[in-house]
A and B are shown apart, each in its own frame.
Chain A
Amino acid sequence: MALEDETPRLGCGRRIDDLWEVIDQPLNPHEKSCPDCQQARVALYNLASVTEAMRQHDPGQAALQPSGRVKETIMMVARAEVRRGRRIQLARTEAGTIHISAHALAALARFAADTLTGVRARRCSIDPFTPAARTGDAVVESSDIRITLKVAVSSALSIPPTMEALRERVIAVVSAQVALNSRQIDVIVEDLYDV
């Protein structure tokens, strides 16, 4: 391995890297009189042009894409392994209790945020307030959860009014499904994006 890491040099002692850096430039005085450099230059110049052609050529080739079956398999595995997270209890009825998964509730919060122009929902976590519930039962009461939604916001927008509108929107959409109060929802701007 040590050998491989040594800097390769031409017969004249020059590093191949150094010659590669100036491959597009005219010959310098040393190169004009050095047969090693001249020979290497021709070979490296040819390599550079074929490399460039390959770099341009490969991405557009249908033959250099995996078949559709590959993506089908990947998505099949992903769908089978979707993590639904803990369940949040919404209501008790005579017939039993009604739950929503944390995964579905997070998707709802992200959807709500996406309805506002200039806001892009990122990660959304749903955690119980009470520490005991974090490790214990997989089912928590809806009054015991906190939703933390992270977003990226367009740099063209003013953040405070946007956040206010966002909180209202998320509360409106989510509370149509789950009884929540506003202190249960945190919205964090983690990034700005350029329009």
Chain B
Amino acid sequence: MAGADDGSVQPLVGLDEITVISRAQDGDLDAFEQLVDVYQGRIFRLAYRMLNNRPDAEDIVQETMIAAWRQLPVLVTPAAFSGWIYRVCTNECLDLLRRRRSHQETSWGEGEQEPQSARMRSPAPAVAAADPAATAEMSAQMDGLADVLATITPEQRACWLLREMHGHSYQRIAEMLQISEASVRGRIARARGQLAEGMNSWR
């Protein structure tokens, strides 16, 4: 299922992913490095969109990949690696957000965001579109979506990101987060409703 999130990553230098994971399980550093190359961008994007904070997202990537290295030898099914790593990353993000909330009783998205200048705005898409005005408009809309994302609950945000940005099925997300498929469905529908509404008022 690694193909669910192609991204811009390099293919596993000609080898199937199960082979690379198997070798990493035996402590092969080159194989593990290939896994880092493939997964670090994916889980960074997930963590960044979850937390809206670059240093925190980098910490999560680091912790998740090191946990992966330590757990790989005992992972029974290599094919489960992808789901496992998304699960660890998502849970780390949710834990961090809970800690933030308990430290500071401010609602997330108000007191916790980085200053505007430090936050990334979406640069204009690299591929020149036919209509520069439309490109700029879409870029602004993506920034708007990123802002509205920060206003929904972390649990809804996690489900929405795993589905819409990372292409995972409801069933896989349910397995990752160890909740029912109906809960995943509910969270994503609720997230869509709130995001659509938020985008409306944002415009």
Contacts and interface: CB of A to CB of B under 8 A. Distances in A.
Interface string B168-197: 000000000000101101110110110111
Interface in A38-78: 40, 43-44, 46-47, 50-51, 53-61, 63-67, 69-71, 73-75, 77-78
A51 B145 contact: yes
B141 to A, nearest CB: 5
Nearest to A120: B19
Given A57-B125, A66-B41, A122-B22, A7 B196 contact: no
A47 B16 CA distance: 35
Contacts of B95: none
Contacts of A64: 41, 44-45, 48, 120
Contacts of B190: 4, 8, 16
A65 B58 CA distance: 9
Nearest to B15: A120
A40 B199 CA distance: 12
B69 interface: yes
A51 B48 CA distance: 16
A24 interface: no
A67 B26 contact: no
Contact of B45 (A20, A59, A70, A82): A59
Given A54-B142, A74-B69, A77-B66, A61 B26 contact: no
A69 B44 CA distance: 13
Interface string B1-40: 0000111110000011011001101111100110011001
Interface stretch (A103-111, A130-138, A139-147, A178-186): A103-111
8 contacts: A47-B145, A66-B40, A66-B61, A73-B62, A74-B62, A110-B23, A123-B25, A191-B18
Given A4-B190, A123-B22, 7 more contacts: A63-B120, A64-B44, A71-B37, A74-B61, A79-B29, A103-B27, A152-B16
Interface of B: 5-9, 15-16, 18-19, 22-23, 25-29, 32-33, 36-37, 40-41, 44-45, 48-49, 57-58, 61-62, 65-66, 69-70, 73, 120, 122-123, 125-126, 138, 141-142, 144-146, 153, 155-156, 164-165, 180, 182-183, 185-187, 189-190, 192-193, 195-197, 199-200, 203
